[in-house]
Structure 1
């Protein structure tokens, strides 16, 4: 594998989340560490995305789909009862209310339109919690494409509802039986499948990971979260900008999209990882799935297995831009345990009538903890992205509660 040169614009030194620098880098992270067989395919995706993102026609078509099919803009919901209990003003950016039930549809509709523009007939994807797989199957059905989704055998067992949804939408779901049988291995198998099908297939990666241009491209497709929230906070909050902007982080796409709307403000950015999958908080420099970032590793530098009750956070690393934001001190990354996440999900359900995905519950768990120990001063304003709804996690919660 080799890291090849892409375009040469410099990344903003203050971490304002602009175009990546030379070789698709965010500081020391990113790049295109791809097998020779994928170098040309990644280059084509990068060129096609740059052209499309500069084309008002493409941007307009995506905006229309996001409005009439995905249901954007999503609302900003004040969590009134929970805010009173915590002593802070908490507002939820409701990505759970999009069509398919999570933020994943924002990125997938963008990539599916790009695939059509490039003349590709099939989408290849990986999925952990199943939400990215459902979004990919949905976009493929909408645009007349085929869809092949790789999913770890363990995740198939705990996310049976989403597997059924994907198949109902016409997607082929391929179980991955190697390794941990979770998201990391599903990603590896999806990339291998793309090697032999670059001529007619587009790899629709689900997070801000992978070889350049994917971390930047996925962040830009998810930027709609932060841009909408910025405008909504200006109307909802007296100060206009919240004191804290909080989102859960696995690979980190919902957080990257949210942070992009506030990176040039005084808001404190907080990414919340699973205790057992804390790439940004405890990872070391390494290369996985085509990019250089922070990953959980053993003493010999081998990638170790992550764990989270939330399948979408069950990834042993973090996207390269998050690693860069951490180094700059622009964003802080903290961890939450399984038990804290489950308790937060229950509390939101019983105070606000909202059942969050267990991934999103990690972000809420940190807000609850930080308000309780004084890290969030009384009266603070907090924007939290509620990245998905909890229907998919009912079986897991039923076993625990």
Structure 2
């Protein structure tokens, strides 16, 4: 996979932030281009042991789809990926998935977000349990999925604890974005018992927390049940799951992993939200 991944000092961002040293954990250098390969490679060992022949997965930003298609190609297993709106806005990842001989099924139901992709993947899985296994990409869903994802992905946080020590340093805070929860859970878990390190999660606030178009579950949600787990969710007064919005693919999930909900309840982690104030423009640098 290319582990360990690099820890990089962001000089310009450090200067912009006023002098605090900001280090980036570069998971994009992994094989398949993201951290999702850690979990996919770990989870596919389970259906191989169980004698399953087909894998089902969901895709948000598409990186989990690419990682799952890759491990299925490695072990010669049939692969089907369900995606919603992200099939359109992550067309390059869809191309890579199909290049690996996996099938991509666009989901047209509901609000066509990450939640609906997970819904369809669960529906497809439960009618073919004898031959099929579902590899979930985020720390969501019923037990033992959140525990498995946390375990396989925590290699990132473990490396992040060790690498600064080699430089004679230790972090004051660890910051991660929060969608379904795998990105933040993987970073936070190895630091969870070290109270000298602050844990900060950042959610997508979309058009603002004062609107109905956001994905800030921990900041603006309430306790409920979604996809087999009790956690914070975005819901109405009748408990119906709300639609979400985020300019970022993969962060538009109306729930969050139970591990993050537990850290919020115990005041172990702080959760903020970020809003895109103007259209993003990529520029050469």
TM-score, scaled relative to structure 2: 0.93
Judge conservation of contact 1:230–1:261 (CA < 8 Å) in 2: yes
Q: In structure 2, which of residues 86, 105, 111 is the aligned counterpart of residue 174 of structure 1?
A: 105
Asked if structure 2 preserves the Cα contact closer than 8 Å seen for 1:147 and 1:172, the reply is yes
In 1: Cα distance, 2:191 partner to 2:279 partner: 25
Match of 2:211 in 1: none
2:254 corresponds to 1:332: no
Q: 1:102 to 1:168 in 2, by over 3 A?
A: same
Write the distance in 2 (CA, Å) between the matches of 1:338 and 1:200: 43
The structure that is helix-richer by fraction is: 1
1:135 pairs with 50, 64, 67, which one?
67
> What stretches of structure 2 of length at least 5 have no aligned partner?
206-213
* Partner of residue 85 from structure 1, selected from 9, 16, 19: 16
Equivalent residue in structure 1 for 2:142, among 211, 216, 223: 211
Q: Deviations over 1:244-296 (max 9, x none)?
A: 10001101102101111211211000111100101111111111111111101
Distance 1:90 1:237 in 2: 15
2:123 paired residue number: 192
Provide the C-alpha distance between the structure 1 equivalents of 2:202 and 2:16, rounded to a whole number of angstroms: 21
Cα deviation code 1:290-336 (max 9, x no counterpart): 11111011122211011111111011111111001000000111100
Structure 1 residue aligned with 2:177: 248
Deviation, structure 1 residue 340: 7.2
**Greater mean alpha carbon deviation, residues 168-177 or residues 229-238:** 229-238
Question: Counterparts in 2 of 1:1-400, with a 5 A limit?
Answer: 70-86=1-17, 87-152=19-84, 154-238=85-169, 240=170, 242-265=171-194, 266-275=196-205, 276-339=214-277, 342=280, 350=285
Unaligned runs of 5+ in 1: 1-69, 351-401
- For residue 57 of structure 2, give the secondary structure of its aligned residue in structure 1: strand
Question: 2 CA distance for matches of 1:75 and 1:341?
Answer: 30
Question: SS of the counterpart of 2:225?
Answer: strand
Higher relative contact order (CA 8 A, sep 6+): 1
Deviation at 1:341, TM superposition (A): 9.4
**Are the aligned partners of 1:308 and 1:338 in contact in 2 as well (CA < 8 Å)?**
no
Which TM-score applies when normalising by structure 1? 0.67
| Deviations, residues 204-233 of structure 1 (Å, cap 9, x unaligned) | 001000000001111000010000111002
Give the paired residue count: 275
Give the root-mean-square deviation of aligned CA atoms: 1.5
Distance in 1 separating the partners of 2:93 and 2:175: 26
User: How much has 1:338 moved relative to structure 2?
Assistant: 2.5
SS at match of 2:277: helix
CA distance in 2: counterparts of 1:292 and 1:341, whole angstroms: 35
Q: Secondary structure at the match of 1:301?
A: coil
CA distance in 2, matches of 1:315, 1:110: 23
Q: Distance in 1 between matches of 2:108 and 2:96?
A: 21
CA contact (8 A) 1:208 1:252 kept: yes
Aligned-residue offset at 1:201: 1.1
CA distance in 2, matches of 1:328, 1:221: 24
Shift in Å, 1:99:
1.1
Structure 2 distance, partners of 1:243, 1:85, is 18
How far apart are residue 122 of structure 1 and its match?
1.1
